[in-house]
Amino acid sequence: MLEKRWIRKPAPDAAQVAQLTQALGVNEAIVRLLCQREIGTFELARSYFRPDLSQLHDPLLMRDMDRAVARLVQALHGGERVLVYGDYDVDGTTSVALVYSYLLRFFGPARIDYYIPDRYKEGYGVSEAGIDFAQAEGFQLIIALDCGVKSVDKVAYANKRGVDFIICDHHLPGAELPAAVAVLDPKRADCDYPFKELCGCGVGFKLMQAFAEHQGLPETDLYELLDLVAVAIAADIVPIYGENRTLAFHGLRLLNDRVRAQRAGFAALRELAGLRETELSITHLVFGFSPRINAAGRMGDAKRAVAMLLADSAEAAKEKAGVVDKTNQERRNVDTSTAKEALAMIEDDAALQAARSTVLFKPDWHKGVVGIVASRCIDKYYRPTIILTESNGKATGSARSVIGFDVHQAIEECAELLDQFGGHKYAAGLTMPLENVAAFQQKFERIVAGRITPEQLIPPVEVDGTIALHDITPSFQRLLNQMEPFGPGNANPVFASENVTAAPDSARIVGNGHLKLALTQDGGRHRLEAIGFNMSDHLERIQGGEPFSVCYNVEINEFRGVKSLQLRLKDIRWE
């Protein structure tokens, strides 16, 4: 098991904590968490605990939004056909489902359709094949979602063929923007939109919000689509603060509403993921929904995921979700076997084990799982990792990084060896000639080795604060629950407790190497159940009675209908 470094967050201002504790009348440990997250006043706390849709920003603050709405209205009144075009991942497919389903009621089925590019034939983003399809089928306007901000040549190609573009993206633009009618991207340098971290589906939602306002339509119909936005926010790992927190909060509320009818596609996914009776959180969306939706694009046709999301009956949704789930099972089998091969390559090569980076290439690996395999390699060998396979006569693959290291910048410094690349600090894609793989491996390793710090090669655990076990009560847990949705920018709090021991005869191994025990403190007066996944290496010392420190999340464990407090251990440190 990898050694971890604990990073303890600075203690907040004591006077501010005291003042807010008095104002809120809640546990001081909760108030310290709020102050650490820059929620230091009663007003900020109220909006944090009760996000309101009135807090959403005016969509017209986004650069080009007025132009986008004007062009969409022109298409509506001019009898034009509109093609909703999206990426093949979760963010892209939910974006397409949202925009298509909202505009369908205005344009009708004869004048609107959707298109998802084939991952393997067309690649990421806007493709000439997609534009050719639009022209051949008489679509005068394409709304590109979760892609397009770097598609300068493709938009120029469309312009020559009389097809206009509205781009809704959230990735970093290049030096030149496409010559589209409108480029909606809060990360544009010239865009003053107050919140920069929307996902692609979020940008699509803002376009529909602006369209609704222009048409004088009630926004309540649009808010019925926030379940799609919440799933996109979860899957795309965007920060869950500001506008994203509001959107995710209300999207989860829709998903967990037991009174209103849920979206048939999500209800079917919920059943397949074993989550029918579970109160859904961002974590459930990440691990229960996202892999199944993503698998459609990784292993075949992502349109199957959109069809599932748009299904208008439980029967149709169940059938389509079953296909998506079967595809996900195939994906799991492929990524498991590929990860085993990749890890074996490292274990059998002393140079790879000693390296500061991992770059592996095997021509028959499935292109759809290389990003997942890169993440699995990081789980065991914590360092920047690139997994490459052969596709269309080129070496192509995905990069993943570790906290604090900019893998996109490192790849950019190898640009002379590449045909193309793109992404961001922690994840990127790249393509190169096959003959350049060896040279790329060597240069990338030199760059990483010369820049990465020893600390960056040790996985961090951010600890919010140290508390005693007796602080953890059902009321404490209920307050923690009100801090959800958790995710990047609003992480599930990690607490530390010191000088704990295991209750006699409680420590044991369950499942495949997981540590289960009851933690005690203060001479055994306070006892809490805990589980540490893949922590079996600690069993012998724990059974010997040595005291130790732990860091953990607090959660509710449900077993046979009985709910109880449980600590999910992040790490164990010996005194």
Q: Is 499 helix (H, G, I), strand (E, B) or coil?
A: strand
| 99 within domain boundaries | yes
In a domain, 499, yes or no: yes
The residue segments making up the domain with residue 75 are 59-255
How far is 467 from 477, CA to CA, in rounded Å?
A: 13
Could you read off the pLDDT of 139-188 as tens digits, one per residue? 999 999 999 999 999 999 999 999 999 999 999 898 999 999 999 999 99
Give the number of other CB atoms < 10 A from CB of residue 281: 19
Residue spans of alpha helices (H) in 216-356 = 220-223, 226-236, 242-255, 264-272, 282-284, 290-299, 303-310, 314-347, 350-354
CATH code where residue 113 lies: 3.90.1640.30
> Could you give the maximum distance between any two Cα atoms of the chain, in Å?
79
The predicted pLDDT at position 1 comes to 63
pLDDT per residue as tens digits for the range 402-451: 999 999 999 999 999 999 888 778 888 999 999 999 999 999 999 999 99
Q: Which backbone phi and psi does 186 adopt, to 5 degrees?
A: -60, -15
Q: Are residues 162 and 218 in the same domain?
A: yes
Read off the pLDDT of residues 25-44 as tens digits, 9 standing for 90 and up: 988 999 999 999 999 999 99
Q: What is the pLDDT of residue 180?
A: 98
The answer to whether residue 224 sits within a structural domain is yes
Q: What is the CATH number of the domain that holds 490?
A: 2.40.50.460
Tell me whether residue 160 is in a domain: yes
Q: Please say if the pLDDT value at position 123 is more than 80.
A: no
Q: Is the pLDDT of residue 399 over 90?
A: yes
Whether 306 shows a pLDDT value over 70: the answer reads yes
Q: Is residue 193 part of a domain?
A: yes
pLDDT tens per residue across span 346-398? 999 999 999 999 999 999 999 889 999 999 999 999 999 999 999 889 999 99
275 belongs to a structural domain:
no
Evaluated on CA atoms 127, 133, 136, 140, the torsion sign reads negative
State the DSSP H helix or E strand holding residue 389, giving kind and residue range, or none if neither.
strand 385-391
Question: How many angstroms separate the CA atoms of 328 and 72, rounded?
Answer: 36
Strands 562-574 and 548-559: antiparallel
Helices (H) and strands (E) counted in the chain, each on its own, are: 22, 19
Q: What is the pLDDT of residue 122?
A: 80
CATH number, domain containing residue 383: 3.10.310.30
Note the pLDDT of residue 252.
96
Run of H or E including 408? helix 407-412
Instruction: Please give the structure tokens belonging to residue 201.
Output: 């589906």
Q: For 487, which DSSP code?
A: B
Find all residues with CB under 8 Å of 259, minimum gap 6, and list them.
none
Residue 115, pLDDT > 70, answer yes
Tokens coding 572: 């164990």
DSSP state of 416: G
Same domain, 478 and 438: no
H or E, element range at 76: helix 65-77
Q: What is the mean pLDDT of residues 116-145?
A: 92
**Residues 116, 74 share a domain:** yes
What's the pTM value of the predicted model, to 2 decimals?
A: 0.90
| Token reading at 531 | 């589980």
Same domain, 552 and 445: no
Helix H or strand E encompassing 98: helix 90-107
Rg (CA), the chain: 25
Say which residues have a Cβ less than 8 Å from residue 211's Cβ, sequence separation at least 6: 69, 72, 73, 103, 217
Query: Domain boundary residue among 207, 226, 255?
Result: 255
Q: How many domains does the structure of the chain reveal?
A: 3
Token output for 110: 């004869």
CA 35/CA 26 separation, integer angstroms: 13
| CB contact at 8 A, 158 and 178 | no
pLDDT: is 85 or 563 the higher one? 85
SS3 (DSSP) at 563 = strand
Q: Is 472 found in the same domain as 417?
A: no
Residue 297: closest CA among 255, 343, 330, 254: 330
Residues 71 and 136 both lie in one domain? yes
Last residue of a domain, one of 209, 224, 255: 255
Domain shared by 508 and 439, yes or no = no
Considering only residues 88 and 176, tell me which one the structure prediction assigns the higher pLDDT. Answer: 176
State residue 324's pLDDT score: 86
Mean predicted confidence (pLDDT) in 504-510: 92
pLDDT at 297: 77
Both 210 and 240 in a single domain? yes
- The pLDDT, as a whole number, for residue 203 is 98
Render pLDDT for 4-17 as a digit per residue (tens, 0 to 9).
999 999 999 999 99
CA–CA distance, 238 with 202 (Å, rounded to integer): 10
Q: Are 10 and 101 members of one domain?
A: no
Statement to judge: residues 133 and 238 lie in one domain: yes
Name residues whose C-beta falls within 8 Å of residue 344's C-beta, 6 or more positions apart in sequence.
none
Residue 320 lies in a domain: no
423 shares its domain with 528: no
Q: What is the 3-state secondary structure (H, E, C) of 112-160?
A: EEEECCCCCCCCCCCCHHHHHHHHHCCCCEEEEECCCCCCHHHHHHHHH
**549 & 431 share domain:** no
Q: End of a domain among 255, 274, 309?
A: 255
pLDDT band at 575 (very low <50, low <70, confident <90, very high): confident
306: in domain: no
